[in-house]
Copies of this chain bind each other. A is one copy, B any other.
Amino acid sequence: GYANIDNHREIRVGYPEVIYCAGKTVEQVRGIVEFMNTKNNNILATRATEEMFRAVKEVCGEAKYNSMAKIITIEKREIPKKDTYIAVVTAGTSDMPVAEEAAVTAEFLGNKVERIIDVGVAGIHRLFNKLEIIRGAKVIIVAAGMEGALASVVGGLVDKPIIAVPTSVGYGASFNGLAALLSMLNSCASGVSVVNIDNGFGAGYLASVINKL
């Protein structure tokens, strides 16, 4: 009674429906997985707690959990990987949970991912050291909190599409990610678009769509 799974989604948009666990009870998450498990689909559940994972594990033994990304994955069919890769870049160490949500999502959807961590603009030479690997990607995800300047700086240095993910890292006038969000929306570099604050999943998903074009 509590869910209306969009089984048709894979045909329509190319991927099965993803379970967004926040705001659902443990019972609901288990029930939805149990139902989807009867189809032969791979299953991805984001924003999942440890407790949800344990409940899912009971109904589906091959489920795996990435605790930094807070993602449950169930891979029933092996997913072939594309040759080109997605770069996931973070400004700081604290942006890693969001970046991992993006990276794990993208890998689950059949992409290779390169992680470039902690190269924020306060020490911009760290970015230049990694520029080659970033430029080699087909699409680039930049996760940054605080003032989110990294997205603009990367945007000025590459000729690939950039998906900027503002993170809620920061305090005070960061207003839980609003500062980074506004910053990224106003990027003076072209080729940058933005997803919701902390929306690693959305960034990883879109990067996958673009990487597979």
- Contact string against B for A residues 9-25, beta-carbon threshold 8 Å, 1 for contact and 0 otherwise: 10011110110101110
Taking a contact as CB atoms under 8 Å apart, the answer to whether B152 and A93 are in contact is no
Contact partner of A193 (CB less than 8 A), chosen from B125, B190, B193, is B193
Give residues of chain A (186-212) contacting chain B, Cβ–Cβ below 8 Å.
Answer: 186-199, 201-203, 205-206, 209-210
CA distance A203 to B179 in the complex (A): 20
- How near does chain B come to A9, taking the closest CB pair, in angstroms? 6
Taking a contact as CB atoms under 8 Å apart, the answer to whether B185 and A120 are in contact is no
- How near does chain B come to A151, taking the closest CB pair, in angstroms? 8
User: Which chain B residues lie closer than 8 Å to A146 at the CB level?
Assistant: 186-188
Q: Which of A152, A196, A202 has the most CB of B within 10 A?
A: A196
Is A107 at the interface (CB under 8 A from chain B)?
no
Chain B: CB-nearest residue to A21: B94
User: Which chain B residues lie closer than 8 Å to A138 at the CB level?
Assistant: 213
Is A59 at the interface (CB under 8 A from chain B)?
no
User: Which chain B residues lie closer than 8 Å to A8 at the CB level?
Assistant: 123, 125
Number of interface residues of A (CB under 8 A): 92
Taking a contact as CB atoms under 8 Å apart, the answer to whether A174 and B186 are in contact is yes
CA distance A123 to B203 in the complex (A): 20
User: Which chain B residues lie closer than 8 Å to A147 at the CB level?
Assistant: 147-149, 152, 182-188
Is A163 at the interface (CB under 8 A from chain B)?
yes
Having A6-B126, A179-B183, one finds 14 other A-B pairs with CB under 8 Å, namely A1-B117, A2-B93, A3-B117, A3-B118, A4-B117, A28-B93, A91-B188, A122-B155, A123-B156, A124-B124, A138-B213, A148-B183, A161-B210, A174-B182
Q: Sort A-B residue pairs by CB-CB distance and give the 10 closest, nearest first.
A: A172-B197, A23-B94, A6-B123, A149-B149, A4-B118, A179-B182, A193-B193, A14-B159, A147-B183, A147-B186
